[in-house]
Amino acid sequence: MDEESEHLMLWPALALIGFLVLTAFVVVLGTVSTDRYEREQQARTMSARPAAKSIGVAPTT
């Protein structure tokens, strides 16, 4: 291969590597955001007032 054809092959390879890096970055950001959201939801659920204590069964008609 001469220098020009090597140079022409470099740009598609760099574009592919850049695409894969950016895709991985977006996946990591989404994972972190989802983890944070789930922790906040769990904290809200745990801090909610407990339900009233059940005394008996209401009669059904």
Residue 4 forms part of a structural domain: no
pLDDT digits (tens, 9 = 90+) for 6-44: 788 899 999 999 999 999 999 999 999 999 999 999 888
Residue 3 forms part of a structural domain: no
Task: Say what the pTM is.
Answer: 0.58
Residue 7 forms part of a structural domain: no
Question: Domain range for residue 37?
Answer: 13-44
Residue 30 forms part of a structural domain: yes
Helices (H) and strands (E) in the chain, counts: 1, 0
Measure the CA–CA gap between 27 and 6, rounded to whole angstroms: 32
Residue 49 forms part of a structural domain: no
Residue 21 forms part of a structural domain: yes
Give the total number of structural domains in the chain: 1
Residue 1 forms part of a structural domain: no
Tokens of 33: 């955001």
Measure the CA–CA gap between 58 and 34, rounded to whole angstroms: 41
Instruction: State the Cα angle at 40 between 36 and 46, rounded to 5°.
Output: 145
